[in-house]
Chain A
Amino acid sequence: MGNSIQDSQAPSLLDKVKTSFRNQSVLLVATLVILGVVFQIASEGIFLTTGTLATVLNDWGSYILLAVAQTFVVITGGIDLSVGSTVSLSSVVAGWVLVQGLHLDSSISGDAAIPYVLLAVLVALLVGLTVGALNAFLINILKIVPFIATLATMGAMSGMAIIISGGMPLQGPNDFNLGIPYTVFGVQLPISTTVLTVLIITVIAGLYLHKTRFGLYTYALGSNPFATRAAGISPARHITKVYMLSGGLAGLAGAYAYIRLGAGSPSNGAGMELYAIAATVIGGVSLMGGVGRIIGIALGTLVLFTVQSGLLMVKVVQVSPSLKQVIVAILIAAAVAVQTLQKNGRK
């Protein structure tokens, strides 16, 4: 009672904490800290090591490009279910070009493989852009809603990946050093060339989303498509760009998978779309469109893989890999619930 006047003048500490917890990034960082502590205890002290962090970041690298791709798409009010099979297809086509096209094999490794790895990246990128263009065509020209359009390409592309590869991984030239964490002055860092590259792409994508006209139109379209068109912007043209960006990033994620395994495999991207969507939702992107920030996505993806790696190290319960899917699904539901609570709290 006595301090009610004070309360009305300055926000109390509790209010400040409440306000900052409505900020997605603060919430996610807090979650990471809690997860770190919990897993450290539950794993009897083996969780918080550079090695674990490197594993988490390597997984993070596999998925962050898809999460970023999904972010742009979901902010426009759409969804891209085809990103996982685009990873499969692009890695398979890259492998096919090297193995069947150029008759090379995995005996080429180290620095000698670098030109071929770059070729694989280029091929995978082109495959991804093509899938994106196909999605845009289905959405803009055939007027199919994104969910169904990308569901169709999802099925078609994973089928194509199996046909082209014959169902088997195509083992090609590779430089595995690209995925091995750096050691600087005898100290092992958790970052490898591939993770660093993906991190740079993520930062650039974030700048584009938040600082450029391309990003602005992405939000505008998800916020109010009628107003966007009325302002003289072509929704179809922007949709095309966004789905091609999504496809292109999925293609690069396919290249990441190729470099990680040294092979293009039709199972490289299986189920990845679920994780990508989970990461965006956990990262604070609204499936209704118009809302989301790249920093949230980066942290959301990190939460997802911290949980995954952590569960594998927990001594008391044996978490089977198939249980991972269930846990991801629970995380999606929890994240959406938190979003709803945050929104209601703001009112």
Chain B
Amino acid sequence: MPNKVIYEVRNVSKNYGAVVALDGASLKLHAGEVVGLVGDNGAGKSTLVKVLSGAHSPDGGEILLEGVERTWHNPKQALEAGIETLYQDSGLAPHLTVSQNVFLGREKFTKGIFGKLGFLAKKQMEAEAEADLQAVGIAFPSSNRPVSQLSGGQRQAVAIGRAVSWARKVLILDEPTNHLGARQAGEVLEVIKRAKKKGLGVIFISHTLPHVLEVTDRIVVLRLGKIVRDAPTSEYTADTLIGTITGTYGSDE
């Protein structure tokens, strides 16, 4: 891989009470690279995502951004460092509008004294949210509609658009093609390819293996919290990938 390592975790572990969700996982992500993260339900993919995004603190291990060790105490610190995450579920606030969700945590204020008092530039954010989502290239609904009124697919489009348009270094997508039809899922794959071209490091989680094989440079397989294989996508076939996920094909043990 010619590009530099942009994001890395070494030996991270995470327990939920007695459940070992992550067990000494290590992962490198290069700039301009798409890494597929696959594994059965409960393998620990979403937990790794939450560690990478600052939503959860790991019980052990190291996190390095551009070679510098970092500790995230909350998601804000990771966001400010340029790491943008689409969570598997519950990424949007349903009572807020599309534009309020897109700008949540990064609001724009009106000019002058009212802006200083915290008054929001609603129209401006609506227009910019619309433009941002359009630029991402996903069909989206009008930006002043509450998210609760959108279909599952439309919500997913908003969540993806939001993550992609804010990402500066790393883009993490946890099952972004859920709730999507074939055409929309295809659009998401295009979005991932464009993010890669822009030089972002992308982590793509999906159960749809043809998608993973199509769009990734490297595939990391998680099983019961452990990384059991990390290899270039060209070294997998659909069959060996399934076998590695379920544990019936040449695991390291």
Contact = CB atoms under 8 A, between A and B. Distances in A.
Interface of A: 207-208, 211-214, 216, 219-220, 222-224, 226-234, 290-291
A212 B80 CA distance: 22
Contacts of B93: 219-220, 223-224, 227-228, 290
B145 interface: no
A290 B94 contact: yes
B95 A227 contact: no
22 contacts: A207-B119, A212-B118, A212-B119, A213-B107, A216-B104, A216-B107, A219-B95, A222-B95, A223-B96, A224-B92, A226-B87, A227-B91, A227-B92, A227-B104, A229-B75, A230-B85, A230-B87, A231-B75, A231-B79, A233-B105, A234-B76, A290-B94
Nearest to A229: B75
A67 to B, nearest CB: 20
Interface residues of B, number: 28
A232 B80 contact: yes
A233 B95 contact: no
Interface in B61-105: 74-76, 79-80, 85, 87, 90-96, 100-101, 104-105
Given A224-B90, A228-B104, A231-B105, A219 B118 contact: no
Contacts, number: 78
Chain A contact residues: helix, strand, loop or mixed: helix
Contacts of A290: 93-95
B209 interface: no
A226 B50 CA distance: 11
A172 B96 CA distance: 48
A208 B114 CA distance: 11
A233 B104 contact: yes
A204 to B, nearest CB: 10
Nearest to B90: A226
Nearest to A236: B74
A230 B91 contact: yes
B96 A220 contact: yes
Nearest to B75: A230
Contacts of A234: 74, 76
B113 interface: no
Contacts of A291: 95
A229 B55 contact: yes
B19 interface: no
B117 interface: yes
A220 B100 CA distance: 9
Contacts of B96: 216, 219-220, 223
A222 B95 CA distance: 9
A226 B107 CA distance: 18
Contacts of B75: 229-232
B180 interface: no
A87 to B, nearest CB: 28
Q: Nearest 10 CB-CB pairs, A to B?
A: A232-B76, A231-B105, A290-B95, A223-B93, A212-B118, A223-B95, A232-B105, A231-B104, A224-B93, A232-B79
Interface string B107-135: 10100000001111010000000000000
Contacts of A208: 118
B83 to A, nearest CB: 11
Contacts of B118: 208, 212-214
B53 interface: yes
